Structure 1
Amino acid sequence: MATLLIVHHTPSPNCQAMFEAVVSGATAPEIKGVRVVRRAALSATASDVLAADGYLLGTPANLGYMSGALKHFFDQMYYPCLDATRGRPFGFYVHGGNDATGARRGIESITTGLGWRRAAEPVIVTGEPSKADIEACWELGATITAGLTD
């Protein structure tokens, strides 16, 4: 059975709504054969990453960058996972108050270095998530998970 690891930092109601939509899509009953593991960014480990077949990352944009929690996750898992996880699929979502450009750029830079393969367009939201934004998060979760069943 394939495993999807969702690593998130969810400090606000807007991030929580996006996270819940991603999890709902990832655990949709029609998608079979994938175990979904959720870890807060500060508790996710290199072992979690090595045990997963794909990844879904979520963060707020803080001060023009991804959260310190998600950056800490990347810092502690980067070298232990560098060679073993190349080519694995991932997706991500970012919530910002008014700009998420730096957070997106940071995640794309690190995942490029890891050699991960983006399997879906990211969901980038500024301000309060709309119904369409929440649906896009659901689709992101479902897409990444369904891709692991192939």
Structure 2
Amino acid sequence: MPKRLLLVAHAPSPNTAALRDAVLRGAGASEIEGVEVAWKAPLEAGPEDVLAAHAVILGTPENLGYMSGALKDFFDRVYYPCLERTQGMPYALYVRAGNDGTGTCRAVATITTGLRWRAVREPLVLRGAWDPAFAGHCEDLGMLLAAGLEAGVF
């Protein structure tokens, strides 16, 4: 039975959509077998999506030093239904930050700590002006999570 990697990413712009697509490309690399990858926009994702996943990648732009309202809405809807059932869930975060991403990372860490999810790496914070290399970093992130699930590391 394949393991499921869920990407919950808010992608309101062409650049954030490129990051989402890069994560999906990396996670779906042909070398990785036995991992099913699913993407849901935060306003469409619900507790059933999280409960069906073995790991989660969260993606958000930095909005006024915080996560997107859509990602916060996702957390508001899944928090209690998932609280006791997803403890130890491996997750990773990427942030498209116009500033420094600190407030966004802190806010997500507060919520995921409450959920008792386990970060598998430091947040990937893509700071400053748009750089095409950002997509490569996101592709690597997707591949890392999918390969870790495949290998049983996460």
TM-score after normalising by structure 2? 0.92
The more displaced of 112-121 and 80-89 is: 112-121
Greater shift, 39-48 or 118-127, is seen at 118-127
**What residue number does 2:12 align with?**
11
In the aligned structure 1, how far is the partner of 2:129 from the partner of 2:66? 18
Q: In the alignment, is the contact (CA less than 8 A) between 2:32 and 2:146 conserved in 1?
A: yes
Aligned counterparts of 1:34 and 1:120: Cα–Cα separation in 2: 19
Corresponding residue of 1:146:
147
Q: Which structure 1 segments of 5+ residues have no match?
A: none
Q: Which residue does 2:64 correspond to in 1?
A: 63
Runs (5+) with no aligned partner, structure 2? none
SS of 1:65 mapped into structure 2: coil
Identity across the alignment (%): 51
Residue identity in the other structure for 2:142: G
Aligned to 1:127: 128
Equivalent residue for 2:53? 52
CA contact (8 A) 1:66 1:107 kept: yes
Q: Which residue matches 1:95?
A: 96
Q: Contact between 1:120 and 1:143, CA under 8 Å: does it hold in 2?
A: no
Distance in 1 (alpha carbons) for counterparts of 2:8 and 2:129: 21
Residue 64 of structure 1 aligns to a residue whose secondary structure is coil
Conserved? CA contact 2:22–2:138, under 8 Å: yes
Root-mean-square deviation over aligned CA pairs: 1.2
Check the 8 A contact 1:123/1:133 in 2, yes or no: no
Question: In structure 2, the residue corresponding to 1:57 is in which secondary structure?
Answer: strand
Instruction: Please tell me whether the aligned partners of residues 66 and 103 of structure 2 are also in contact (alpha carbons under 8 angstroms).
Output: yes
Aligned-partner Cα distance in 1 for 2:6–2:129: 26
User: What CA distance in whole angstroms lies between the structure 2 residues aligned with 1:31 and 1:122?
Assistant: 23
Q: Deviations over 1:106-147 (max 9, x none)?
A: 111111111111112321112344243222111110111111
- The equivalences for 1:20-35 within 5 A come to 20-35=21-36
Amino acid at match of 2:117: W
Letter in 2 for 1:126: R
Q: Distance in 1 between matches of 2:15 and 2:98?
A: 10
- Measure the CA separation in 1 of the matches of 2:13 and 2:104: 16
TM-score scaled to structure 1, two decimals? Answer: 0.95
> 1:31: Cα distance to partner?
0.5
Q: Secondary structure in 2 aligned to 1:107?
A: helix
Distance in 2 separating the partners of 1:13 and 1:6: 17
Give how far 1:16 is off: 1.4
